[in-house]
């Protein structure tokens, strides 16, 4: 079933499109009366926009969010009758791409509003989304600006957003007071734009409950199998499994060290598997754990999974190679040429991310280009 390239690759990714579709359906159901969009920015969180778009369209998604207009242009032929929203909005010089490719700009500021209104005057009617900042202080009109706009008698009739949206700063933390604060501020906006559909929730927001759902939800990370809620059991199905080949298994006598900086010293005779994965593949150097000065505060590094067991990463991750301690596995259970799982079905991507002081989003979006990719299943 797999290609010869996949079966012999130094490192390889399996992307489970059935799990992707199932995760989207689960988030769509959890959105109650709201519709779930699909968030496909950054090459669909690193998994590949073409496969993700076709799969999520087949699963029923019709609303798609990407970051840039270029991502929108790439997405357009993949979802011919889907509505594509561009998070970065528009600026002078790229307006025509929105009109030519039927892309909906998200208007994030008074300046972008002026650019959009000028484009409308010149080119005729076009939908837009109004983004209101309710506390993130990143993008969006202020609540006051948005309410003033809603009540502005000079507001041209041609300006009628198809959606008002805002974004949660702390949606992954159900106890955080920011959630309720932002919800209340957003309700002031939706009251001013009565009758206009509204959207507030990312993955975390979907899990916060029905109050946060409005008309359209925007789950991203949960659909890709990552943790939407910190500190809770992740109910989503893993989508991406990363594996790499063991190039050599060596015996290291007790007392010796390994890898750059000689940061690990073995206290027993050890068997070490040298694996074809490194930071150039997005297996970040920081997952080495306490051996790297950056992470003195957290001594334990990442784990891999091999022959039914978790095996610890040891020493420093280098550009192309990493070391795993396989001493606790039976000698015959580990051979050069075997594949070790770095994350996926048996090792949660968020656990590896945590070992590196980061989040699953960053591991996914930095997956390198050396992996041989296999897409399995579908909607
Ligand atoms: C990326 C993004 C999302 C998706 O967020 P997740 O935390 O991945 O669910 C939703 N809305 C906006 C505005 C985003 O930028």
State pLDDT tens for residues 96-120: 999 999 999 999 999 999 999 999 9
Measured by CA distance, the residue closest to atom 6 of ligand 1 is: 220
Contact 221, 15 (CB under 8 A): no
State pLDDT tens for residues 61-73: 999 999 999 999 9
What is the Å distance from ligand 1's center to 246 Cα?
36
Name the nearest CA neighbour of 281 among 356, 339, 366. Answer: 366
Point out which residues pair with 313 in neighbouring strands. 324
Query: Was domain 240-376 assigned CATH 2.40.37.10?
Result: yes
- Give the CA radius of gyration of the chain: 24
Contact 1, 177 (CB under 8 A): no
Token code pair at residue 63:
């609303």
Q: Where are the domains of the chain?
A: 31-217, 240-376
Query: Was domain 31-217 assigned CATH 3.20.20.10?
Result: yes
What pLDDT band is residue 297 in, cutting at 50, 70 and 90?
A: very low
- Picking from 13-17, 62-66, 149-153, 207-211, which range would have the lowest pLDDT averaged per residue? 149-153
Positions marked catalytic: 41, 260
CA distance 56 to 50: 10
Residue found under tokens 């009251």:
191
State whether the beta carbon of 327 lies less than 6 angstroms from ligand 1: no
What is the Å distance from ligand 1's center to 220 Cα?
6
State pLDDT tens for residues 2-42: 899 999 999 999 999 999 999 999 999 999 999 999 999 99
State pLDDT tens for residues 216-235: 999 999 999 999 998 899 99
To the question of whether residue 298 is assigned a binding role by annotation, the answer is: no
CA distance 109 to 356: 35
């Amino acid at each position: 079933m797999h290609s010869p390239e996949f079966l012999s690759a130094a490192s390889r990714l399996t992307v489970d499109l059935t799990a992707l579709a199932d995760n989207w359906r689960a988030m769509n159901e959890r959105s109650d009366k709201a519709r779930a969009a699909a968030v496909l920015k950054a090459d669909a969180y690193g998994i590949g926009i073409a496969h993700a778009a076709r799969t999520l369209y087949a699963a029923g998604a019709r609303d798609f969010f990407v970051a840039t207009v270029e991502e929108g242009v790439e997405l357009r032929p993949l979802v011919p009758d889907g509505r594509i929203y561009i998070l970065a909005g528009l600026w002078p010089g790229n307006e025509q791409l929105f009109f030519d490719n039927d892309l909906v700009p998200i208007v994030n500021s008074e300046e972008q509003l002026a650019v959009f209104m000028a484009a409308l005057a010149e080119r005729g009617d076009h939908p837009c989304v109004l983004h209101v900042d309710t506390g993130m202080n990143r993008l969006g009109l202020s609540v006051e600006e948005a309410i003033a706009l809603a009540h502005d008698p000079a507001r041209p009739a041609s300006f009628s957003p198809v959606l008002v949206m805002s974004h949660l700063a702390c949606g992954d933390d159900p106890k955080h007071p920011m959630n309720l604060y932002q919800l209340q501020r957003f309700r002031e906006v939706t009251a001013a734009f009565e009758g206009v559909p509204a959207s507030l929730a990312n993955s975390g927001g979907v899990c916060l409950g029905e109050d946060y759902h409005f008309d359209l939800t925007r789950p991203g990370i949960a659909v890709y199998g990552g943790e939407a809620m910190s500190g809770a059991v992740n109910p989503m199905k893993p989508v991406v499994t990363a594996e790499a080949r063991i190039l050599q298994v060596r015996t290291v006598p007790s007392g010796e060290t390994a890898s750059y900086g000689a940061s690990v010293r073995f206290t027993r005779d050890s068997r070490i598997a040298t694996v074809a994965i490194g930071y150039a593949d997005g297996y970040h150097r920081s997952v080495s754990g306490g051996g790297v000065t950056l992470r003195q505060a957290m001594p334990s590094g990442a784990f891999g999974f091999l022959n039914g067991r978790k095996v610890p990463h040891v020493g420093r991750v280098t550009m192309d190679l990493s070391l795993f301690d396989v001493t606790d596995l039976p000698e015959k259970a580990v051979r050069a040429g075997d594949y070790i799982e770095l994350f996926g079905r048996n090792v949660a991507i968020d656990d590896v991310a945590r070992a590196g002081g980061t989040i699953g989003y960053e591991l996914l979006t930095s997956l390198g280009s050396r992996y041989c990719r296999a897409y399995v299943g579908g909607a």
